[in-house]
């Protein structure tokens, strides 16, 4: 049995895995850090990836659905998806709407397609927290999202092989 607090290893290979990274670029510097962490984790696992950039977190679900559906059933089909974004609390209820609906939306897309998904949408109180979590040397939430997607892909392949 796995250790309770052990992070999934990015170096466990995932043969022929093709991953879509969908990133919300509302906060460019935070997005860049998260993308860096995700790309490193995928490369370490031997997975290939493509990146699509979207304006914000609310656009992630539909953007992912467009791209995944466009290539489904073709040699370019994706095995997993990693979503990256950041929602920082402001002074209005808008934070709750964006945080909840973007996460719900990407989960709806993943569940409807049985697509392994790593959710890297940060929901934080301020930019300092966002930078801490996004930085690959400190929080590495982009890398964590990629490792989560790969862990689900490994599980999917294992149970489908039975």
Query: What whole-number distance in Å separates Cα of residue 85 and Cα of residue 121?
Result: 4
Taking each continuous run of H as one helix and of E as one strand, the counts in the chain are: 5, 4
Q: Are 142 and 120 in contact (CB under 8 A)?
A: yes
Query: What whole-number distance in Å separates Cα of residue 103 and Cα of residue 58?
Result: 9
Catalytic annotation on 131?
Answer: no
Annotated catalytic residue, options 7, 43, 76, 94: 94
Strands of 11-162 (E only): list them. 18-24, 48-54, 80-88, 117-124
Question: What are the helix (H) ranges across 45-93?
Answer: 60-71
Q: Which residues are catalytic?
A: 94
């Amino acid at each position: 049995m796995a250790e309770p607090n052990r992070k999934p290893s990015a170096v466990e290979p995932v043969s022929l895995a093709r991953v879509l990274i969908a990133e919300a670029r509302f906060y460019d510097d935070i997005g860049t850090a998260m993308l860096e962490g995700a790309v490193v984790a995928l490369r370490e696992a031997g997975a290939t990836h493509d990146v699509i950039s979207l304006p914000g977190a609310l656009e992630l679900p539909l953007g992912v659905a467009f791209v995944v559906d466009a290539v489904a059933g073709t040699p370019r089909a994706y095995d997993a998806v990693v979503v990256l974004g950041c929602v920082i609390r402001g002074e209005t209820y808008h934070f709750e709407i964006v945080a909840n609906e973007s996460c719900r939306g990407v989960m709806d897309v993943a569940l409807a397609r049985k697509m392994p998904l790593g959710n890297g949408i940060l929901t934080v109180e301020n930019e300092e927290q966002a930078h801490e979590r996004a930085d690959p040397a400190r929080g590495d939430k982009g890398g964590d999202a990629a490792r989560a997607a790969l862990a689900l892909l490994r599980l999917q392949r294992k149970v489908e092989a039975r």
